[in-house]
Amino acid sequence: MIMRREIGEKGQVVIPKDIREMLKLKRGERVVFEVRGNEVVLRQEQDPIEFLENFLNTPKIKRGKKSIKKMILEQYEEGLH
């Protein structure tokens, strides 16, 4: 689906009703804008608790002596410091 919209004077763009309905977006919900090269992807913000539960319940995949999950957690912790 391709739809065109004009950017308003404050840099705002209205998400067309058809797209809001397809994605089940409701007023007040939070969305995430992700830049991929020269494109912007719009998606619903995932509930942080749901994300963490899904992440922690993923099967362990071993890579050498460290699991991928452990490596990602270590990278995340390093980013906090």
pLDDT mean over 36-65: 78
Q: Which fold is adopted by the domain 1-45?
A: Pemi-like Protein 1; Chain: D (2.10.260)
Closest C-alpha among 51, 68, 49 to residue 59:
68
pLDDT digits (tens, 9 = 90+) for 50-61: 778 777 777 666
Region of poorest pLDDT, from 1-5, 8-12, 45-49, 76-80: 76-80
Q: What pLDDT score was predicted for residue 63?
A: 57
Q: How does 30-48 read in b/e, with b if 16+ C-beta sit within 10 Å?
A: eeeeeeeeeeeeeeeeeee
Q: What pLDDT score was predicted for residue 1?
A: 82
| Of 65 and 69, the one with more pLDDT | 69
In the chain, list all ranges with CATH 2.10.260.10.
1-45
Please report, for the chain, how many H helices and E strands are present, in that order. 3, 4
Whether the predicted pLDDT of 36 surpasses 60:
yes
